[in-house]
Amino acid sequence: MRIALFTNEYPPHVYGGAGVHVEYLSRELALLEGGAHAVDVLSFGEQREERENLRVRGVPAPAKLAAQDPRHERLLDALGRNLAMAGAVQAPDIVHCHTWYAHLAGSLARPLTGARLVLTTHSLEPHRPWKVEQLGTAYDVAVWVERTAYQNADGVIAVSEAMRHDVQTLYGVAPERVRVIHNGIDPEEYRPRPDPAVLRRLGVDPELPIVLFVGRITRQKGILHLVRAIRRLRPGVQVVLCAGAPDTPEIGEEMRALVEEVRGEVQVPVVWIAEMLPKPDVITLYTHAAVFVCPSVYEPFGIINLEAMACETPVVASAVGGIPEIVVPGETGLLVPIDAEGGGSVEPRDPEAFAAALASAVNELMADPQRRAAMGTAARARVLAHFSWRAIAAQTLAFYRDLLA
C-alpha cells in the first residue's frame, strides 16, 4: 500500500498533539508487516528524511501572497502549500490528512489521484471560536475548508468517542464512515527519567513538590484558569508552568500580567519556563512532578496526559472531550467538571469556581503522597495496556484496508 500523510506539523516543527501523532504514526506504519508499505509524509517546512520505506518531505510555500489583513497570512500560506502538496504526492492509495491546515490538499488529491481520503479529528474549528483572535475572518475560511473535507472524506478517524459524536453532529458525517482510534505514546521514550540537575538548570527546586503544566499559551489549554487556581493552593509546593508559543501577542501579555499578579499574592513559588523545551527535559519534568495538571477547556484527546501518566505521574484534568477516556478518576488521577455554557467550546460559566475546583483537586492529592504514588503506578500500567503506538498503527492500517475494499 502507498500511504501519504499530509500535515502542517512534523519534527522539528511540532507545537501540538497533531504533530506528535503524525511523527509516531508514520514511523509505526512504516514498520508494520516487515516494512511492506510505502509511507510518504508531506509537511509544512524544510524537512528531508528518507529511512527505507518512510520518506518525509517539507513543502515550502510556492509564493508569498498579498493579504488584506495580516492575520490572513497564515491561511494564505497554508493554501499555497496545500496546492503544492496536491501536485507533489505520487500515486497514493491512501491520503491521510491531519488538521484543517492540510485538508484542502487532501480534498484536491482525492479526485486527482483516485486515492481514498482519510481525516483524523485532532480538533474541530467550530469548537475553537477563540481562533478568531489569531486568524480574523480567515477563521471562517478555515471552517469552510474543514467542512468541505469532512463532507468529501471516505473515512474519518476520531481520536475519542467525544470526537466521534462531534464530527457527526457538526458535519453530518455518516456513522459508518467514522472509526474511533485513540492517540498513543511510546512508553519506552516516555518513562521515568529522574535528573535533579536538569531541574536546577531550569530554575526548579528539586526538593519542593512540583505541580506541573506543559502546553501552549492558548485559550484551549486553559492555562489562565490554572494560574488563577494558584491563589488557592496550599503552601509547600511549587508550580512549574512549561508554557510557550502564545497564540497571539495579546494572550501572551495577558498571561504575563496574570502570572506577575499572582506571584505578588501567594507564597507558592511560580516558575514560568517560557520557551518550548526539548523532549528529554520535558520528560524529566514529568518524572519529578508530584501532580500534572491539564486544565483544558477543549481537548479532543489529550496526548499530554498520556505523556505524564507514562512517567508515573498522576493527573488532575478537566472532564472535557476525550480526557475521561484517558484519566480514570480515583485510579490514575482526578477529573474536574466544568460548568459550561454549552457547545464544544466549554469555557466555564464561573471561571473562579473552576479555578477553585482545580485547586481543590490538586490540594487533595498533594495531601496524600501514598495515594499519589499508587496513582502514578496505575497510570503507567494503563498507558502500557491501552495506548501503544504499534497497536494504533495496526488499527489504522486495518481501517485503510476496509476503505480500499
285 CB neighbour count, 10 Å cutoff = 27
Residue of 163, 140, 135 whose CA lies nearest to 21 = 163
Mean pLDDT of 74-93: 96
Mean pLDDT of 325-349: 81
Is 124 domain-assigned? Answer: yes
Residues 203 and 95 grouped into a single domain? no
Mean pLDDT of 211-240: 95
SS3 194: coil
Residue 381, amino acid: A
Cα–chain center distance at 166: 17
Is 252 domain-assigned? Answer: yes
pLDDT recorded at residue 245:
85
β-strands 48-51, 54-59: how paired? antiparallel
Task: pLDDT band for 346, please (50, 70, 90 cuts).
Answer: low
pLDDT (tens digit, 9 = 90+) per residue, 16-55?
788 989 999 999 999 999 999 999 999 999 999 999 999 9
Residues 114 and 204 grouped into a single domain? no
Question: Looking at 157-161, 178-182, 344-348, 357-361, which range is the least confident one?
Answer: 344-348
Residues 104 and 45 grouped into a single domain? yes
Report the percent of the chain where pLDDT is more than 90: 84
pLDDT recorded at residue 290:
98
Is 106 domain-assigned? Answer: yes
Q: What is the DSSP string of 271-328?
A: EEE-S---HHHHHHHHHHEEEEEE--S--SS-HHHHHHHHTT--EEEE--TTGGGT--
Residue of 399, 326, 402, 316 whose CA lies nearest to 360 = 316
pLDDT recorded at residue 341:
57
Residues 338 and 394 grouped into a single domain? no
Residues 124 and 77 grouped into a single domain? yes
CA distances from 136 to 44, 122, 255, 345, 346 (A): 21, 21, 21, 18, 21
The Cα–Cα gap between 215 and 251 comes to 14
| Structure-derived torsion over alpha carbons of residues 85, 86, 91, 95, reported in degrees to the nearest 10 | 80
Mean pLDDT of 303-314: 96
The Cα–Cα gap between 284 and 119 comes to 33
Residues 343 and 212 grouped into a single domain? yes
Task: pLDDT band for 344, please (50, 70, 90 cuts).
Answer: very low
Residue 276, amino acid: M
pLDDT at 181 over 90: yes
Residues 240 and 380 grouped into a single domain? yes
The Cα–Cα gap between 371 and 366 comes to 9
Residue 144, amino acid: W
CA distances from 355 to 208, 261, 358 (A): 22, 15, 5
Residues 238 and 150 grouped into a single domain? no
Domain count, the chain: 2
Is 190 domain-assigned? Answer: no
Global confidence as pTM? 0.80
Residues 68 and 179 grouped into a single domain? yes
Residues 397 and 324 grouped into a single domain? no
Q: By residue range, what is the domain housing residue 209? A: 196-386
DSSP lists the bridge partners of residue 39 as: 3, 54
Per the CB < 8 A criterion, the answer to whether 275 and 244 are in contact is: yes
> Which backbone phi and psi does 81 adopt, to 5 degrees?
-65, -35
Residue of 319, 277, 328, 322 whose CA lies nearest to 295 = 319
> In sequence order, what are the residues at sequence separation of 6 or more whose Cβ sits closer than 8 angstroms to the Cβ of residue 112?
86
What is the average pLDDT score of the chain? 94
Residues 178 and 217 grouped into a single domain? no
The Cα–Cα gap between 67 and 76 comes to 8
pLDDT at 342 over 60: no
Is 191 domain-assigned? Answer: no
Burial class (CB in 10 A: 0-12, 13-18, 19+), 312: buried
pLDDT (tens digit, 9 = 90+) per residue, 232-255?
999 999 999 999 888 889 999 999
Question: Looking at 27-41, 57-71, 120-134, 293-307, which range is the least confident one?
Answer: 120-134
Residues 205 and 156 grouped into a single domain? no
Is 231 domain-assigned? Answer: yes
Is 378 domain-assigned? Answer: yes
- The enclosing domain of 346 has a CATH number of 3.40.50.2000
Task: pLDDT band for 343, please (50, 70, 90 cuts).
Answer: very low
Is 189 domain-assigned? Answer: no
> In sequence order, what are the residues at sequence separation of 6 or more whose Cβ sits closer than 8 angstroms to the Cβ of residue 264?
none
Q: What does the longest C-alpha to C-alpha distance in the chain come to?
A: 63
